[in-house]
A and B are shown apart, each in its own frame.
Chain A
Amino acid sequence: MNNGKIKKLLKQRAESVQLNKEHPKQILEKVNSIKHFSADLQEEITGADIFRVQGQKSKKWGYKSIIPIFAGALSLVLVFFTIINPLIKQKQNSITVAKAEEVFSKEMFALGNLFSFQEESGVNLLSFTQNEFERVAEECAYYLLTGDAFLQNENIITTVYNNEDENFSEYQFKAVVSFTDLSGYKVEYVAYYDQKTAGAETTILGVIEIKGRFYQLSGKRIQKRKEIESELRVYFDNRKDYISVSNETEVNENEFTYEWVLGGKVVRGVSLETSTEKGLKQTEIEITENNKTQSYEFTYLNQTVECEYESGNVEEEFTVYLHDEYYLFVYSSYTVRVDK
């Protein structure tokens, strides 16, 4: 059962709650029978001041001064709301469509997919216990969508807003990163963050929403003449362990590196590289863990992806069929479905 279904179940059960219908009548009977102010009420209502209705103040004015003051104020308010405020709002709420690299879009997308798959499938990336086919399929599924997106860089749409979301009003910006893959499956991640730039270094700090869950994130980008180094981290719930994705354009602008940092140590590394050669789009991933390395090479065709990898000294291959909600990994004698 996923988060959405849990929430739906809770709401349904809450809607169906039925209490004793006599409560309103009993309440009024008690109120009418109480003659003295209860001494412990003050203690119980402490703290209610937190929820003040904003923008309302109560003041006492002499009756005769009210009308001209009110008229003057009303005219000012009308001028403000009809002319000035829309201009201010237009400037404050301006929507900008930023370049993907300027707001760590690719990195957010890459980590969003990873956390999303891990969360929904319940698979622990560091301990596969299924058979070889299932293990490979679940491992690769994380990166297929990301590789597809990076190969279609122009289809990663990023929109940046001046943040007005009450939930995270302490953050200055809101970025929405979205991508629709070839099968029509749409992915979207939303991040709320503050951004600081000092010389050649830009840092961001905030939270990212991935399928209804929120994770803290931090990012850093350093511009060195023609080279750019960037790193984005998304933290697990304990806020100490994290997965990072980094990119160095000097090395290869199409190569991204993931690192799993648990207990302060890098326990897993993955490099993901995309390329387009003679019209053929490819993604190569290399996974390093426990001093062992495993590589996979994906070639994207129309509605399928061909994959080659080595298992032991044997070359293996399989085909991935792209469906709206899932990938179908087809080996010679086995088929595995991995939901997106």
Chain B
Amino acid sequence: MRIEEYVNRFKQKDYALFNEFYQLTYKKVYFTALAILKDKYLAEDIMQECFVAFLENIRSIKPEQNALAYLVTIARNKGINYYNKNKRLVLGDDEMKNIPVAMGDSGGVEDILNLLPEQTDREIITYHVVMGYKFKEIAKMINKPLGTVLWRYNRALKILREKVNHYE
């Protein structure tokens, strides 16, 4: 079923297929929040809030709008808002640089992403490698020039290569 069809049902308060929709979309929402907040538990909380907000505001979504992108945008904005309001609870970029990360089989995706000290780099790697967004889309999402996205992507990969090698 296409996303638009789920949206039309939700607009009628028909949530019978919500679990199906959730399974199709939750990872994009979760990883978007994770790239910003760096903590998987916080990211899960924000992800839940995103879906609630999405359903609550479903009637304002126009037919020509991309509902999934809408959801991801909510996730990004909620993540940034949470980070700005609760900076003392979320580890800052400088603090992250000094924390050793245990790799190996038990390391999750957040362990790898958290090797990148800067939020923009984590977002670009998450959106392109994990979620499959194209660079041009990413440039619009994070409001940065395409050239900046490209060179930061290259730099982030280089950092990950060095740090992952160090811990393997």
Taking beta carbons and an 8 Å cutoff, which residues of A are in contact with B? 1-3, 6-7, 9-11, 13-14, 16-17, 19-20, 23-24, 26-28, 30-31, 34, 37-38, 41, 43-53, 56-58, 166-170, 207, 212-216, 237-239
Contacts and interface: CB of A to CB of B under 8 A. Distances in A.
8 contacts: A6-B161, A17-B27, A23-B47, A44-B78, A45-B60, A45-B73, A170-B146, A214-B153
A53 B64 contact: yes
A167 B69 contact: no
A13 B51 contact: no
A207 B135 CA distance: 13
A168 B44 CA distance: 34
A247 B135 CA distance: 33
A9 B136 contact: no
B50 to A, nearest CB: 8
B74 interface: yes
B149 to A, nearest CB: 9
B65 A27 contact: no
Contacts of A216: 147, 150
Contacts of A19: 26, 30, 44, 47
Interface of B: 15, 18-19, 22, 26-27, 30-31, 44, 47-48, 51-53, 55-57, 60, 62-66, 69-70, 73-74, 77-78, 81, 107-109, 111-113, 125, 129-130, 134-137, 140-141, 146-147, 150-151, 153-155, 157, 160-161, 164-165, 168
Among B31, B48, B63, B165, residue most surrounded by chain A Cβ atoms (within 10 Å): B48
A31 B14 CA distance: 12
B25 to A, nearest CB: 11
Given A14-B31, A17-B30, A56-B63, A45 B57 contact: yes
B36 to A, nearest CB: 13
Closest 4 A-B residue pairs measured CB to CB? A51-B69, A13-B109, A51-B66, A48-B70
B128 to A, nearest CB: 9
Contacts of A1: 161, 164-165, 168
A3 B56 contact: no
